[in-house]
Structure 1
């Protein structure tokens, strides 16, 4: 079978099929222009077999990122598996904010809580090479993926297995950032799209979506240096709740940031007590 016929058989999700075929041909660095230029090339049976299998999996809803084994984030190609959340563009606003604070205050150290694939930690480290970065996660499997990304990207990061801050006793940072699970357990989105295949513990706390945020807000002051900042990603409808939690805990300069779509996405505060 030739390239154009193989792709025509999957017209319902043509763009995804194109990326999958390039992946099977070990041409992930190419774009659809290559496929157009080579549309009459004969595909080896082995390539065609793997391509058809991946397309069938995509039709069942398995996210493209998991089938390809990577996702682009902050111009970095990060390895992802079903052990980690798929990095999303909206989280880049959290990275931008962290990078701003590092530059503004000349920070030398930074903690990424619940790092997953290491997306936030790697992105901030790539933008601030001299920064000493620590990343933690409760999942050993997630940390293994983060370690692989750190090695592949040559971005040295200290990785620690910890359930939020419980494994970091006695340590402090001038900046703590986290994209915790914040989807409410009864949110119908959990049963739709990519979320069906992502690790549930990285998406929801099994309750109202604010459980992990409450824990981090409550415990982080013991791990923040005077004048240190805590930045949290949250749902578009949780901004007021997160700001209230931070204010009640004693944070100052509480600020809201929006993502590229203009939705409330991250709240931060300064610990001065």
Structure 2
């Protein structure tokens, strides 16, 4: 990164710059850019709940809702579903509290989760990093049915989280503004980390902080952004076999299966069933 480009990136990441960009995007002047935005990013406007001319600003279009039924949710209560329309940029198991090699960088969970005591439960859990391009639908939905037991807003910068930012800016996901939601489900807990980005100064809950949610319910939205990191507790998730880096996923699409940790599943087996190779959890065969 050249010194000039680094300086420009640092300046653009300041809240003041984000506020100026955000103010314009929310103004009526920006509505003239909506057709250009749709064309430039090849957005399927037919999915939107309103016609383009009904949106009063570029920001209003950016945080648009979709028509009912556009994103069916996997009905299996054990499914972990995608909370966003996005591209998978990294996935795998954390190693002793570190997410390894995300675009060449390691991310300590302590930093990503802002030193929350809950981090101990995620030390060797599964992670999925999802990047939302400007063309994507930008509302964030619950990845599982459960109770939102804690949320935290972490102030930070708004560095870009595109390919350049992820590779060249040191631990960008842990330095940018974040909104973290912890959801307690039947088999454990999920941490949903919503990361702001360049000119993405707003991560907003829908209707205030959520309580009980069902998989697919609206949780929040980005005002121009960004990245979502899904974390599962150690031993509570198995990804679907074909889930891979570079793959596009949509809201409600199954990412894999939630289950009890292996030691708890074994303890629940009847003595005569322990060696059968089949474990029954809440009437679901895993």
- Could you say which TM-score interval applies, normalised by the shorter chain? under 0.3
> Which structure has the highest helix share of the two?
1
> Which structure has the highest strand share of the two?
2
Instruction: Please report the TM-score for the alignment, with normalisation by the length of structure 1.
Output: 0.27
Higher Cα radius of gyration: 1
